[in-house]
Structure 1
Amino acid sequence: MSDSVQIPSAVKFVNGGVAAIVATVIVHPLDVLKNRMQLAGRDVAASEAQKSMGYITRSMIKEKGVSAFYPGLSAGILRQATYSTTRLGLYNTLFTYTSGEDNKPPGLLVKLGIAMISGVTGAAVGTPAEVALIRMTSDAQLPVADRRGYTSVFNALARIAREEGIATWWRGCIATMGRAAVVNMAQLASYSQAKELYLNSGYFKDNIVLHFASSMTSGAITTVASLPVDIAKTRIQSMKIINGVPEYSGTINAMAMVVKNEGFFNLWKGIVPYFARIGPHTVLTFIFLEQINQAYKTAVYERKLI
């Protein structure tokens, strides 16, 4: 059977990246909206109504129409090509390694550990694209005089290196790695655990229904667990340096400032578009990944029979 076909580690990395890129192209508008809502929260002059999802959505459409939801798409694709290729490929490789010769899935603690390692590694690789993505998706929200006007992710990276120094590519890297540790422990480990539990329940077979149920569970858990650190990461990566002093000194400081200036529950500001983005992205990524992996196994199995 094709299920017995082992996928090489290199192919796992490629399959993970392809699945994440396809999912990102579909949900990119929700990512843009989520970033705009998170940044609107720090505008003390704006009313609560002006910070709402409905108001921001209408403003974006009024500004540029549908195209307002697609700035930074090239950065989003590059981010997945670096970050998700690394994290998904590494997680699946480590998952297979820790399963042993009998292919028994590792325990929950091991899943959490390899998910954290995979996420942190992927974040370190993908931070430059992440910085470009945050800036490009939030540029239209800045005053005209402060807009950077990047034309593509490569233009953004080149200008950042030239104007601010190449080290700026990794601005907020620690915050990004912290978020990635939380996201991947919640997302990857919960997906594997949910899939295992649902299969063992006897109500599911290993098919697209199982993949959908497991990824929806993973998406909900990931949303609640990761949004506060995602907000901190977004604020840090989009902050300005005023008289040589950064707005935030780190993740904890950024979260503390949000609580102090905007209220505790603003740590979950934009949870609806965040879940609307991370839920479908999680579902699509895992469904595409499972289908790509199965297609690879089938192709290899059938080739061996010839």
Structure 2
Amino acid sequence: MVADSKGSSNISFAGTFAASAFSACFAEACTIPLDTAKVRLQLQKSATAGDGLALPKYRGLLGTVGTIAREEGLAALWKGIVPGLHRQCLYGGLRIGLYDPVKNFYMGGETVGDVPLTKKILAALTTGALAITVANPTDLVKVRLQAEGKLPPGVPRRYSGALNAYSTIVRQEGVAALWTGIGPNIARNAIINAAELASYDQVKQTLLKVPGFTDNVVTHLLAGLGAGFFAVCIGSPVDVVKSRMMGDSAYKNTLDCFVKTLKNDGPLAFYKGFLPNFGRLGSWNVIMFLTLEQAKKFVKSIESPSH
């Protein structure tokens, strides 16, 4: 993926898919507590006038992590890890595994010189949209499991686990409900995928032209941080709308959710949890890309003798 200028499509699609899925799952397992905190912060409605001076329950990323751990136990921070891993296998594997083939398709066989940024963005938009269309049910279940906080005594949980959540949603709401929020989710993931993959590709390509920079861990680390930052700046508003639509069925559609959020909570609500989002996506991208570069080297070493 995210190749050097020579193009590293010398790994098979299966190899790239496996390396991508593994890297995405590893990054997910490391950073899901931050993601759970982010979902809780995004779903927290601002205090209404009638509440007097009610302070928000969750404050700040680490404060939210602390509150969840204190009230619900440490394991609660990994709520949604099972569908999270389902999602990363499908979504991570497809969006990254297809990136190089789709980029080459848009290049139409011209592989002379650097790939233009527009083609990188177009390829990443395409693979992000395709991958999340397949993986949307896993995303929905993940958000629903993460959204459930501490329950009063005697109140049963909506779902006993990930597989139970899939079957309960199908039974109670129908199969189509698994694709709830597919509109904002396609928008969010196509945009964030483009921001991540195209900016990683671009930052890495630019750094490699700077004297002293080689294709090593420092370059991968800086490119990964750049990818996370661009992804959060561009993706935060659609991310908030997606979390609110998946966590609360009061919204009619994407536009309704966008307008109500703007009217009730103001424009800054779209950047609610910006720092937790960057903490999450920044660290996620660094871990994922560092792991991916190593995983691809490993796959290449296995595959190369057969060439």
After TM superposition, the score normalised by the length of structure 1 is 0.89
Other-structure match for 2:274: 271
Aligned ranges for residues 51-66 of structure 1 at < 5 Å?
A: 51-53=58-60, 55-66=63-74
The correspondence for 1:50, drawn from 52, 57, 63, is 57
Task: Classify the secondary structure of the residue corresponding to 1:140.
Answer: coil
> By how many angstroms is 1:42 displaced?
5.1
What is the aligned partner in structure 1 of residue 3 from structure 2? Answer: none
Whole-Å separation in 1 of the counterparts to 2:66 and 2:169: 31
| Larger mean Cα displacement after TM superposition, 90-99 or 128-137 | 90-99
Q: 1:56 to 1:20 in 2, by over 3 A?
A: same
Q: Distance in 2 between matches of 1:207 and 1:48?
A: 47
**1:65-80 aligned within 5 A:** 65-80=73-88
1:66-215 matches, cutoff 5 A: 66-98=74-106, 100=109, 102=111, 104-140=113-149, 148-215=157-224
Q: Which residue of 2 aligns with 1:21?
A: 25
Q: 1:168 and 1:147, CA in 2 relative to 1: closer, same or farther beyond 3 A?
A: farther
- Name 2:253's counterpart in structure 1: 250
* Corresponding residue SS for 1:179: helix
Query: Which whole-Å CA distance do the structure 2 matches of 1:273 and 1:147 have between them?
Result: 30
Tell me, which stretches of 5 or more residues in structure 1 are unaligned?
Answer: 241-246
Using the TM superposition, name which of 249-258 and 64-73 deviates more: 249-258
Unpaired runs of 5+ residues, structure 2, are 1-6
Query: CA RMSD, aligned part only?
Result: 2.4
Is the 1:115–1:184 contact (alpha carbons within 8 Å) kept by the matching residues of 2? yes
**Deviation by residue 1:120-153 (Cα, 9 ceiling, x = unmatched):** 0011011000000000001126777886432222
Shift of 1:96: 4.5
Selected match of 2:13 from 9, 31, 45: 9
Deviation track 1:223-280 (CA, whole Å, cap 9, x = no partner) reads: 111011000000111113xxxxxx2232232222112111111111111111111111
Instruction: Determine the C-alpha separation between the residues in 2 that align with 1:74 and 1:27.
Output: 14
Distance 1:163 1:42, change over 3 A: farther
AA aligned to 2:245 is: I
- TM-score normalised by L of structure 2: 0.89
Match of 1:298?
301
Offset, 1:27: 0.4
